[in-house]
Amino acid sequence: MRVLSKGLSDTGRKRDHNEDSFLIDEELSLFVVADGMGGHAGGGTASRIAVETIDTEVRKARARPDQPLRQKTALQDSRIPDILRGAVEAACANIYHAAQGDPRLAGMGTTTIALLIKDDAAFFAHVGDSRAYLVRGKLVQQVSEDHSLVNEQIKAGMITPDEARHSRYKNIITRSVGFEQEVMVDVMGLVCEPGDTFVLCSDGMSNLVEDHEILELASSPELASVPKGLVDLANERGGDDNITVIAVRTL
């Protein structure tokens, strides 16, 4: 299955620097958004290490003699989830060790959402509250599950999704890549259909844009307009964080 992609990252209207990083590697059909944290130097460093390490590790896997990225298997038998998990775990270790060697980077970490498309399947690896959405026809669905305090409160019945959107704790995440030496990585896979659009984003977008608006903008036949439209909408509503969006469409 062929893919088209377009990405955009913006500092937003309230921050003076951008700690987000993103990766578009169309040769691998690999796409990553990382939202860094840990101060002026740390956040941007953590997110950059994450996207670079994930790309490097997936390329290493492709070059292995057993060629796990070239094998045709059923979704449930694919080795790609393990490859993506290992790539994020390697990023976690690299970020952690970089922080140990430089006091300016102490405590840095990053969220990560990664998508790899192979044949007719999409595979995800996820840590934190950056998100992946699937837009298919007239439906939009959040594929990833936030590792955040407010999401835990929603699942416990303590608050509603609307209350979570306005909570003072909405930016507190319960997992990150690199803050500790190891992290638990969520992986998942689904079967693609031609015309699917995947939207990967940092919370600078998802905190300010509704699902139905993602559906409307991601349904545009002009893929390049999708990230720009979502970034512009988040900025119109205050742009209180860095905003990063990648749109990926299957053909």
pLDDT computed for residue 171 by the predictor: 84
**Residue linked to tokens 């140990």:** 100
pLDDT computed for residue 38 by the predictor: 86
CA 195 to chain centre: 20
Can you tell me the distance from the alpha carbon of 156 to that of 154, in angstroms, rounded to the nearest whole number? 5
Specify whether the CB–CB gap between 48 and 177 falls below 8 A: no
Specify whether the CB–CB gap between 236 and 10 falls below 8 A: no
Q: What is the largest CA-CA distance in the chain?
A: 51
Specify whether the CB–CB gap between 203 and 243 falls below 8 A: no
Specify whether the CB–CB gap between 242 and 13 falls below 8 A: no
Q: Amino acid identity of 99?
A: A
The CATH code for residues 3-250 is: 3.60.40.10
Strand 121-127 and strand 112-118: the pairing is: antiparallel
pLDDT computed for residue 45 by the predictor: 97
- Total-model pTM: 0.96
Separation in Å, CA 215 to CA 34, 146, 192 = 22, 19, 17
Reading the chain (251 residues) residue by residue, the pLDDT tens digits are 899 999 999 999 999 999 999 999 999 999 999 999 986 689 999 999 999 999 999 999 999 998 888 888 888 899 999 999 999 999 999 999 999 999 999 999 999 999 999 999 999 999 999 999 999 999 999 999 999 999 999 999 999 988 988 898 888 999 999 999 999 999 999 999 999 999 999 999 999 999 999 999 999 999 999 999 999 999 999 999 999 999 999 99
